[in-house]
Chain A
Amino acid sequence: DSGVTQTPKHLITATGQRVTLRCSPRSGDLSVYWYQQSLDQGLQFLIHYYNGEERAKGNILERFSAQQFPDLHSELNLSSLELGDSALYFCASSVGGPGTEAFFGQGTRLTVV
């Protein structure tokens, strides 16, 4: 158990819908990262928050947004879902920035039908 909690574990939704994925980082970790992993794309970095502030953005679509709340949990919002958005979405946390050891959650498997 990494200490990072992601909910829900599985999500099935229809195209065009909107979903919210939630991540609770390890106690004391200030950084939260979101990644998308699909079969043919590998692990794609989406976004990094540190203590509530956005620090880096990767290949995150405009239909996707994220935030980190004062209690340090984070949410990833995916809207106007397309079939190609089906993937495993991982959240990771670390005590400091990207160079410090990151702990990954078990992921949310999103299936868009």
Chain B
Amino acid sequence: LAKTTQPISMDSYEGQEVNITCSHNNIATNDYITWYQQFPSQGPRFIIQGYKTKVTNEVASLFIPADRKSSTLSLPRVSLSDTAVYYCLVGDYGNTPLVFGKGTRLSVIA
């Protein structure tokens, strides 16, 4: 299983862009990178997934460099409601379990 490393916590002011970087040095060829968001006492929610380069959806962008040893989740213009824990996961579409690390606790300040 590719091990991931993320900052434990981050603070940001409302309206700012937030970038959370995840390291996954031993990512395998078949692995995808997926980010989930979790609010207190709720189940995680899928945000975005990518394999290489850049992926964008209505809530976030995911930047993956050519070597794929890291990835950056970008949240544009965060609001108080973006305060949550963000998890980076790496795995393939086979039977590798979806393993969550400690995640990054993002606190958005007014």
Interface residues, chain A, CB within 8 Å of chain B?
A: 2, 4, 33, 35, 42-43, 45, 48, 50, 55-56, 58, 88, 90, 92, 96-107, 109
Contacts and interface: CB of A to CB of B under 8 A. Distances in A.
9 closest A-B pairs by CB: A104-B43, A99-B93, A43-B100, A98-B98, A56-B97, A101-B46, A55-B95, A90-B43, A45-B97
A98 B94 contact: yes
Given A98-B92, A98-B97, 5 more contacts: A48-B98, A55-B95, A98-B96, A99-B91, A99-B93
Contacts, number: 72
20 contacts: A43-B38, A43-B44, A43-B100, A48-B98, A58-B97, A88-B41, A92-B44, A96-B93, A97-B95, A98-B93, A99-B34, A99-B91, A99-B93, A99-B96, A101-B49, A102-B44, A102-B98, A104-B43, A106-B43, A107-B42
A58 B95 CA distance: 12
Nearest to A88: B41
Tell me whether chain B's interface is mostly helix, strand or loop, or mixed: loop
B101 A42 contact: yes
Interface in B53-100: 87, 91-100
A100 B93 contact: yes
Contacts of A88: 41
B38 to A, nearest CB: 8
Contacts of B92: 98-99
Given A42-B100, A45-B98, A56-B97, A98 B43 contact: no
Contacts of B32: 99
Nearest to A104: B43
A97 to B, nearest CB: 5
Contacts of B93: 96-100
Contacts of B101: 42
Contacts of A97: 93-95
Q: Which residue of B34, B38, B41, B98 has the most chain A CB atoms within 10 A of its CB atom?
A: B98
